[in-house]
Structure 1
Amino acid sequence: MVWRRLYSRLRCSQKLLRLSSLQLRTYSSDGAAGSITSRKGNNIILMGSPGAGKTTVGRILAGMLDKPVVDIDNDHLESYWGMPVAEQLSRLGPDHFLQAEGEAVLNFTAEDCVISLSGSNPMHQRAMEHISTLGTVVFLDVPSSDILHRLEVMKVNRIVGQGPDTDMADILRYRQQFYEGRYDIRVLCGNNESAEDIARKVQEVLTWQENSNKYISTRQSGKEVKGGGSRTFSEVVLEGLAPDGGLYVPKQGLRRLQDSEWERLVQCSYQERALRILEQCIPHTEVHPSVLNTMVQTAYAQDSVSVNRFGSDNVVPLVQLDNNQHVMELFHGPTASFKDLALQLMPQFYAEFSRRRSDGCDRHRSLILVATSGDTGSAVLDGFSRLPEPLQQYVAVMVLYPEDGISPIQKAQMTTNEADNVHVVGVQSDFDFCQSTVKSIFKQLSGSSESSSGPYHSQYGVHLSAANSINWGRLLPQVVYHASAYLDLVRQGTISMGQEVDLCIPTGNFGNILGAVYAKRMGIPFKRFVCASNQNNILTDFLTTGCYDLRHRRLHRTMSPSIDILVSSNLERFLHLLTSDGDLIADMFHQLENQKLFKVPNQILSQLQEDFSAGWCHEEDCARTIQTIFQSNGYLLDPHTSVAKTVADRLLGRDCPMLLASTAHYCKFAPDVLTALGTSLPTNSPVALFQALQALNPRLFLHSQLSKDIGRPRKHKTVLEADRRQVIKEMEGFMKRYFEK
């Protein structure tokens, strides 16, 4: 009844009378075609189902913004036709009505108004294309249950398709497809949310979008990034690292969603959640929601286009381990690592932005140069190799790996990749040599350790860049799966919405756990973050003492190599998130570079410890946990997940539900898992190792894509000596072969 009273009480304000002929006018059919331009107007256009409250919200919003208000039905169509909309619908019938309505809308324009569309406007493609040129289209995404109730109360009789034998719910479901492809900004409306609250939310989202496309360096002092002002989303994805050596972060942070908005996502699929969350983080002017939806579906959907991408319909399924502990299986992607969840999406961002730059004066082509100890290389290769052929012309990838320093399974994953735009090179040295060589190449060419234009751009038209976790475009998708895991706990009835949950993550570079921190900033009620380390426990010491001390430390090679890290790059982003002090961040990380040490102020340490616990475990403890869990319930943990489980059991009780991040499939670390279980290793052959694992009959089957990879013939056979000059020569040869073909 509230909506009905508002509808009758809020009559058209005098602002409508202020509309001049420049603000609201109609054209002849010939003029209509000429009025459609690619340039956006300055109107705010509300779109949604019949009963979504567009008219009422539009009037309230117009009052808040001091703008004129236009209702397409009442203020344009009825005057254009000289009769009520319901009468025209009855006279023409549904099909002819849609055509007539579309033609009428093509003859409409306005300036600097709040415009409320009819529920059927988006069903006429040309009309909606015209409307989209007039301003920003805001989709009022209202729960269907609310809409059905309002339509019943209001006794609406002018909906296309409405009839005595037609189910209104079916009409709404059918129409949803037209709304989904037509908006610039989605506003998630909560159950029984008032028109005033929705109008305020629209205003909030519009304000956020207006200021969201500004990224600054974590080391920024004053108002500008070194080398220019703030960057856009596309620029930070292509650049990776800021010119001053800092990492890019959104200047105003990420928008915090209301509880009612998160509740709307509980029943959504992973793909739907990803779209709705990323829409809140990426300005529509950079990646339009229709394009973003295509990218998300390509990355995560289970269909003929993306076959073999993720082996689970849920993308990230949850498995209850015991009592209140639930494993987030982040390893169902094509390379069996959590890194797939970001690297199936980030390459699409990168290639699309490269294509756009190439449409201008600068032909933007990139060589992604990667040093890997196994997981990152295979995930980067897979993500960029799956780009559609037209986009592959803009990006190629070259990976360096230690020939004798990775597992046979990891080597098989990389060296069997058949894409034309990738090149995999073994080096007769260790990972440290590979990584230092890549950094020295970047530094020599540009003074930066992560990106370069340099002579390769002038000679080949090629930029050198990196795709590791310092790139904001790679970090952002990680926010999604942490939020989605929480929503899954709500959906399956394990917790209620708003109930707090602990989260334990095996941590090396701090990117995965930082994604969870950002999810909390967006409104997911994580209680404590547990940072779990192996013997390379520098993060445990830092979170305990506030001192990050690299002096006298050496890197230990462990059975959990993805967290064998001493310099945690994304920690810089987290400290900036806490302090917003670019000068302090720059000072601390310059100290780390020059003195191998920095210490945070006590106030910052107290902030850290409010949300974080930290611990580490020995190799023997990790192996024992793998054995114990398998013996108790037949579930196999990979060594990284075992580190998380071991540390979580030590630090936290079982009163609060906990999510354990499982970052890799156990198959990737078959020798270590089999050894932990006391099983003798048959040979070093990946096929034999997989057969030994399968004989254990674990609850979780072998990884299907991994099983195929190990059986394919090796394509990449280049192995170089530990000589930087040879690496550069190989890189130049690949660039010439690929980009000059």
Structure 2
Amino acid sequence: MFRVARFQPLKLITQNIGSSVHLKLSFPRTLEFAQLRKSWLSSLSLVGDQNIILMGPPGSGKTTVGRIVGHKLGCHVIDVDDDVLETSWNMSVSEKLQDVGSQQFIEEEGKALLKFSASGSVISLSGSNPMHAASMQHVKKNGIVVYLDVPTKDIIDRLDLIKIDRIVGQDSGMSMRDILQYRKQFYKKWYDIRVICESGLKAEAVANKVLDAVRRHQDSDSETYISTRCIRSEACEQKGSIKCFTEAAIEGLASDGGLFVPEKGLPIFTAGEWKSLVEATYVERAQIILERCIHSADVPAFKLGEIVELAYGKNFACSKIVPLRHLTGNQFLLELFHGPTASFKDLALQLMPHLFAYCVPKRCNYLVLVATSGDTGSAVLDGFSRLSDTDKQRIAVITFFPEEGVSQIQKSQMIGCQRENGWSVGVKSDFDFCQTAIKQIFTSSDYSGFLTAEYGTALSAANSINWARLLPQVIYHASAYLDLVHQDIISFGNPIDVCIPTGNFGNILAALYAKRMGIPIRKCICASNINNVLTDFIRTGLYDLRGRRLMQTLSPAIDILKSSNLERYLHLIAISDGQLVTQLFSDLEKEGRFQLQKDLLEKLQQDLVAGWCSEEDCLAAIHSVYSTTGYILDTHSAIAKVVADRLQDRTCPVIISSTAHYSKFAPAILRALRIAEIKQNPLSQLHLLSSYSPLPPVHNGLLKTLKETEKQKHHICAADVNIMMAHVETVIQKHFMKIF
């Protein structure tokens, strides 16, 4: 495994072990000595000559927690207020603050900290230390900074209890809530580890969480990824099939044709931790969830924060990123289409390219290959076009889509999203062929080896087969549940159902992962169109492609028969049985079918129910919802609405994933609304829809992209893997510098 940055193992030292520990070691009984020695060595290996530095606002418990952590480790404990500042100034902190004022206090505090040094200690910073950059850089050089993230309301209550109504930096007229929010920008610059201190958590429990978090930070090798087809053995490990996050993100697809998954599964949040995120913004929720899923050795917390803010900034039309809208009865719509390309793919693909660019080696070129049934293509092209100019010179994208298998607007959008590092290629076949061809290209070691040797270029993927693409989708399913709690529609712990229009199984898998992480999702309702292989499979356990032909529908994003991410879910419920997964998908390739054994089918049906919707019912649902609410569903969301109506039992709320903006499917929408005269030009169709003052409005980003389409062309190729390979090589020759 390799990582861009790896935390170095800490050296064992003895200089800060107190004399009391030394005396205890002098005359122990044999068993006591063995236990004490084990605990002592564990403490040494955790701390070494580094410091554990606790950071957080006043009232976060840094001093109390620091003492407990120090006691558990047998380390010297230093409180900056008492042991550094007051000793240096020969006066109390409050006296100094009254003497010099807030701004000068921060400077004086910083100067004092710059003269301070320690090793192998637990240090509790003052609440305002992080506001002085130079001193924080100084203390961070020899320590692991742990941020005690306490809910703002708890901090305010604690400060009220001890009669503190003003803190450093709080100007006249600024509320306590405002100053605490202001300070967060400084805390996030410095921490290596965040510890969520949920309401009601005792100091002892916080201290244990700190120690667990530090151990995780130290032990980067414990968070590994394996292929869904990996058969665990010594030989498996020798083949290098165990990867870190960086490698999984770069490689996309495992060399054995399987998909990467976390070897130990995803982290589980406690109910208290989830509750602490109810008041958080989408950006804050995203960073906290990703910090727990991506080790800091792969992407440090500060960098992850930058990437999240860049991904979910001004490029989303709605400030809530994924607003939750009440539709009717107990049904809610999760609007996933406010990104620049008007589909749920933006939620992952505004973030994933920046993660990818950070992870890849700086001196290597990467060509990202994507198979798309419609929405992914434009989202990938847009996302990777937002990289820095330097990154765009070494990272490029080709999207392969079925030339006649996407809507005219989707095709126009993909063509319009082509930039200097991205191209769209129409293939004279269907999506399943495009996806299978991409996998064949990836698993051809001769071809990939040739590209690396000849052009210094490696291949990767941005479909949801890439773990770095799938992971961000977990966030919005968790966020939707928290929004229901925030809106007082449910209390945390009450169950919900989710209904998701599904083709490649990635979006619904992300919801299933959110459930495993502690979100109380009862059932995931899988909604299909007439390409309903998943519906049959979930009901019977038989995945059967024999005699099936992919049908083109009004909901092209789910016109899929081979659901790639189903493999990850089967690996999950089969308790990581790579041999079983390999056999199942081998049967699918050779025989066109596989049958799930009874016990696994029972597990699957505990999570999933499924239904499908005809074209006529889809259009009728769009018309009905518009007539009764004024809201326009797209063709995929309408399918989910129909299936939810049939399968939900109405004992709990159901969240319907609205996966795309209706603007992308204007001809079908106009037909559903029973508008007789439909012009062929996509722009004319959108202008016609706008004239009806629809809710939500026509997507402005889509309008802008379509206006650029007329200036661009795209390449079309035959349904032949060799021809696609030749096109890949041509792009590499033109975009990247050849290695001689």
> Which interval holds the TM-score relative to the shorter structure?
0.7 to 0.9
CA contact (8 A) 1:417 1:715 kept: no
CA distance in 2: counterparts of 1:153 and 1:344, whole angstroms: 44
1:219 aligns with 2:229: yes
Of residues 41, 56, 64, the one that matches 1:56 is 64
Of the structure 1 ranges 54-63 and 215-224, higher mean CA displacement relative to structure 2 is found in: 215-224
Secondary structure at 1:393 match in 2: helix
Structure 1 partner of 2:357: 351
CA distance in 2: counterparts of 1:178 and 1:474, whole angstroms: 29
Give runs of aligned pairs for residues 520-539 of structure 1, distance below 5 A.
520-539=515-534
Give runs of aligned pairs for residues 192-271 of structure 1, distance below 5 A.
192-209=200-217, 210=219, 213-222=223-232, 224-225=236-237, 227-228=239-240, 230-271=242-283
CA distance in 2: counterparts of 1:166 and 1:695, whole angstroms: 46
Identity %: 50
CA distance in 1: counterparts of 2:449 and 2:171, whole angstroms: 67
CA distance in 2: counterparts of 1:228 and 1:77, whole angstroms: 51
Kindly state the Cα deviation for residue 219 of structure 1 after the two structures are TM-superposed: 2.1
Of residues 655, 660, 664, the one that matches 1:659 is 655
Secondary structure at 1:108 match in 2: coil
Structure 2 partner of 1:449: none
Letter in 1 for 2:295: P
1:183 aligns with 2:191: yes
Of residues 450, 456, 471, the one that matches 1:455 is 450
Structure 2 partner of 1:703: 699
Structure 1 partner of 2:641: 645
1:367 aligns with 2:379: no
1:111 aligns with 2:119: yes
CA contact (8 A) 2:261 2:467 kept: yes
CA contact (8 A) 1:213 1:283 kept: yes
Structure 1 partner of 2:339: 333
Kindly state the Cα deviation for residue 661 of structure 1 after the two structures are TM-superposed: 0.6
Kindly state the Cα deviation for residue 128 of structure 1 after the two structures are TM-superposed: 0.7
Structure 1 partner of 2:731: 734
1:503 aligns with 2:501: no
User: Which runs of 5 or more structure 2 residues have no equivalent in the other structure?
Assistant: 1-15, 23-46
Kindly state the Cα deviation for residue 289 of structure 1 after the two structures are TM-superposed: 2.1
CA contact (8 A) 1:15 1:69 kept: no
Letter in 2 for 1:332: H
Letter in 1 for 2:612: W
1:376 aligns with 2:376: yes
Decide whether aligned partners of structure 1 residues 323 and 52 sit closer, same or farther in structure 2, where only a CA change above 3 A counts. same
Of the structure 1 ranges 201-210 and 590-599, higher mean CA displacement relative to structure 2 is found in: 201-210
CA distance in 2: counterparts of 1:401 and 1:720, whole angstroms: 10
Structure 1 partner of 2:715: 718
1:282 aligns with 2:294: yes
Structure 2 partner of 1:8: none
Structure 2 partner of 1:386: 386
CA distance in 1: counterparts of 2:172 and 2:350, whole angstroms: 47
CA contact (8 A) 2:670 2:678 kept: no
User: Residues 359-416 of structure 1: CA distance to partner in whole angstroms, max 9, x if unpaired?
Assistant: xxxx221111223332121111111111121221221012233434332211211112
1:483 aligns with 2:478: yes
Output the TM-score relative to the length of structure 2: 0.87
Decide whether aligned partners of structure 1 residues 67 and 580 sit closer, same or farther in structure 2, where only a CA change above 3 A counts. farther
Decide whether aligned partners of structure 1 residues 365 and 91 sit closer, same or farther in structure 2, where only a CA change above 3 A counts. same
CA contact (8 A) 1:62 1:114 kept: yes
Structure 1 partner of 2:7: none
CA distance in 2: counterparts of 1:703 and 1:483, whole angstroms: 25
Secondary structure at 2:190 match in 1: coil
CA distance in 1: counterparts of 2:424 and 2:299, whole angstroms: 31
1:469 aligns with 2:479: no
CA distance in 1: counterparts of 2:225 and 2:714, whole angstroms: 41
Letter in 2 for 1:627: H
Secondary structure at 2:500 match in 1: strand
CA distance in 2: counterparts of 1:538 and 1:15, whole angstroms: 64
Letter in 1 for 2:183: R
Of residues 682, 695, 715, the one that matches 1:686 is 682
Kindly state the Cα deviation for residue 178 of structure 1 after the two structures are TM-superposed: 1.4
Kindly state the Cα deviation for residue 55 of structure 1 after the two structures are TM-superposed: 0.8
Decide whether aligned partners of structure 1 residues 157 and 380 sit closer, same or farther in structure 2, where only a CA change above 3 A counts. closer
Kindly state the Cα deviation for residue 157 of structure 1 after the two structures are TM-superposed: 11
1:608 aligns with 2:604: yes
CA distance in 2: counterparts of 1:187 and 1:181, whole angstroms: 15
Letter in 2 for 1:267: E
CA contact (8 A) 2:418 2:424 kept: no
Decide whether aligned partners of structure 1 residues 126 and 721 sit closer, same or farther in structure 2, where only a CA change above 3 A counts. same
Secondary structure at 2:707 match in 1: coil
Secondary structure at 2:53 match in 1: strand
User: Residues 54-95 of structure 1: CA distance to partner in whole angstroms, max 9, x if unpaired?
Assistant: 010111223334444332233344445555444554555544
Give runs of aligned pairs for residues 496-575 of structure 1, distance below 5 A.
496-575=491-570
Kindly state the Cα deviation for residue 245 of structure 1 after the two structures are TM-superposed: 2.0
Kindly state the Cα deviation for residue 590 of structure 1 after the two structures are TM-superposed: 2.3
Structure 1 partner of 2:27: none
Kindly state the Cα deviation for residue 18 of structure 1 after the two structures are TM-superposed: 7.2
CA contact (8 A) 1:258 1:523 kept: yes
1:584 aligns with 2:592: no
Give runs of aligned pairs for residues 308-319 of structure 1, distance below 5 A.
309-319=315-325
Kindly state the Cα deviation for residue 593 of structure 1 after the two structures are TM-superposed: 2.3
Letter in 1 for 2:140: S
CA distance in 1: counterparts of 2:417 and 2:99, whole angstroms: 62
CA distance in 2: counterparts of 1:324 and 1:516, whole angstroms: 19
Letter in 2 for 1:526: I
Kindly state the Cα deviation for residue 281 of structure 1 after the two structures are TM-superposed: 1.3
Decide whether aligned partners of structure 1 residues 164 and 391 sit closer, same or farther in structure 2, where only a CA change above 3 A counts. closer
CA contact (8 A) 2:370 2:461 kept: yes
CA distance in 1: counterparts of 2:638 and 2:614, whole angstroms: 11
Secondary structure at 1:683 match in 2: coil
